[in-house]
Amino acid sequence: MGNKRIGLYPGTFDPITNGHLDIIKRSLQLVDRLVIGVATNPSKNPMFTLDERVAMVVSEVQEIAVVTKTQIDVVAFDELLMFFAKRVGANFIIRGLRAVADFEYEFQMTGMNYQIDPDIETVFLMADPKYQAIASRLVKEVAIYDGKISAFVPTAVDKAVREKVTLMNRKKS
């Protein structure tokens, strides 16, 4: 039992989408334990606080963990990804690939990460085509302009985004 495969799926999750959830479900076929790392990422100017993002991920993965009988831990982090990976004992990092646009960035990041820690492998997964176009950034944009986002995010997240947008609008006026 000593050689548990521990995967780390890092991201900003601002907010968690159906695309993220699809990648999470797929990754569970590869790991014995999944750590979802929620990055502080202040430079990305998140819509949700770190605590809010963590809470949304926790509540969305609870049922998946039960159904798949896999341990899923949601952990916030604010350090170099490879240091965090080492600290949680991850054997590999899981990233989702959407379009060509993701590739360039992921290619550079993975190359640098291999130099920082050659023992930790990075694995890329693709979401089901119906979720591939979903991006947190676009979900927020659509919601800000009053568009429907229910096809892209879970119900509770949809509600949280709409509440956040209302709050932002109230502050503006």
If the CB atoms of residues 6 and 12 are measured against ligand ADP, the closer one turns out to be 12
Give least dist CB 127 to ligand ADP, A. Answer: 3
Contact 133, 167 (CB under 8 A): no
Contact 42, 4 (CB under 8 A): no
The yes-or-no answer on residue 86 being catalytic is no
Q: Out of 44, 130, 137, 159, which one is annotated catalytic?
A: 44
Q: Out of 20, 53, 95, 140, which one is annotated catalytic?
A: 20
The yes-or-no answer on residue 5 being catalytic is no
The yes-or-no answer on residue 44 being catalytic is yes
The yes-or-no answer on residue 53 being catalytic is no
CA atoms within 13 A on the CB side of 123: 19
If the CB atoms of residues 6 and 14 are measured against ligand ADP, the closer one turns out to be 14
If the CB atoms of residues 6 and 131 are measured against ligand ADP, the closer one turns out to be 131
Among 67, 85, 80, 86, CA closest to 21: 67
* List of residues contacting ligand ADP (CB under 6 A): 10-13, 17, 19-20, 23, 41, 95-96, 98, 102, 127, 131-132, 134-136
Q: Out of 86, 98, 162, 164, which one is annotated catalytic?
A: 98
Give least dist CB 16 to ligand ADP, A. Answer: 8
If the CB atoms of residues 15 and 172 are measured against ligand ADP, the closer one turns out to be 15
Contacts 24+ apart (CB under 8 A), 130-137: 131/17, 131/18, 131/19, 131/22, 132/19, 132/98, 132/99, 133/98, 134/17, 134/18, 134/19, 135/17, 135/19, 135/98, 136/12, 136/13, 136/14, 136/15, 136/16, 136/17
Give least dist CB 1 to ligand ADP, A. Answer: 30
Give least dist CB 172 to ligand ADP, A. Answer: 25
Q: Out of 27, 53, 95, 136, which one is annotated catalytic?
A: 136
Q: How far is CA 136 from CA 15, 48, 126, 139, in A?
A: 6, 11, 16, 5
Q: So which residues are the catalytic ones?
A: 20, 44, 98, 136
